[in-house]
Amino acid sequence: MDGQNWLELLNGQTWLKQVQETNQYTEKFGLVLSEKDTELLLAEKNNTLKAERRVEFGQSILPKIIYEFCDSSFLSQNNYVETLIRLQEIFYLYKNEMQDEITDDELIHFMREQFETVCYGDLDYLAETCLDIFAQAVRAGYRDYQETQGYGEFEKFDIVQRWDKELYLETLRELCWR
């Protein structure tokens, strides 16, 4: 076995162990990754890294993604692995799109907040709208997200008019009392 294959094998085993250890925390949310799941996630991570021309040193980003998203109301055991694969892809794509100006934690926080609030679990809307708009701002020099760690940023750039729950309830009350 040559040096490169040995190193890849060691990194893969370390990565698998890191991801499997997240089960101790996520099982309270009904989310568990099997050994087969983690092997699939590793293969998909490697494909994504190659596609995005990125290299990952040290700890994998996936445990951070898992811990950030595991209590989401939009995750279940049925969509857990597929969602993690897609979140990894989105993460690496937008690290490139934002030219590595944003930290891993800032990007993950931003992704989670939009996933829960604006996207309501829609990964395509997260990638194609929320992150696309935010990445344009970051590339243009926007840096205020550094003060907030990525939280509360999207409403500054959101071009879609959202409905207001309180206004809706008030209008509903008015209609019912007529």
pLDDT tens digits along 28-81: 999 999 989 988 888 888 888 788 887 776 677 889 999 999 999 999 999 999
- Which letter does DSSP use for residue 64 in this model? H
- Mean pLDDT lowest among 41-45, 124-128, 168-172: 168-172
* Three-state secondary-structure class, residue 65: helix
> Kind and range of the H or E element at 10?
helix 3-21
Span 107-111, mean pLDDT?
A: 94
- Cα(50)–Cα(44) distance, rounded to whole angstroms? 10
Assess contact for 53 and 99: CB atoms under 8 A.
no
Provide mean pLDDT across the span 149-172: 66
Lowest-pLDDT range, 16-25, 111-120, 169-178? 169-178
108 pLDDT more than 80 = yes
Per-residue pLDDT at 4 exceeds 80: no
How far CA 39 is from CA of 28, 47, 75, 177, in Å, comes to 22, 12, 20, 59
Residue position matching structure tokens 């907030």: 148
CA angle 137, 45, 138 (to 5 degrees): 5
Q: Which of 116, 163, 159 is nearest to 134 (CA)?
A: 159
Lowest model confidence (mean pLDDT) among 24-33, 110-119, 154-163, 167-176: 154-163
User: Is residue 163 over pLDDT 90?
Assistant: no
Tokens for 62? 């996936």
Looking at residue 3, its pLDDT comes to: 45
Mean local confidence (pLDDT), 125-133 = 92
Model confidence over 139-148: pLDDT tens digits? 988 777 777 7
Residue 44: per-residue pLDDT: 87
In this predicted structure, what is the pLDDT of residue 9?
Answer: 43
What local confidence, expressed as pLDDT, does residue 18 receive?
78
Q: Confirm if 145 and 153 have CB atoms less than 8 A apart.
A: yes
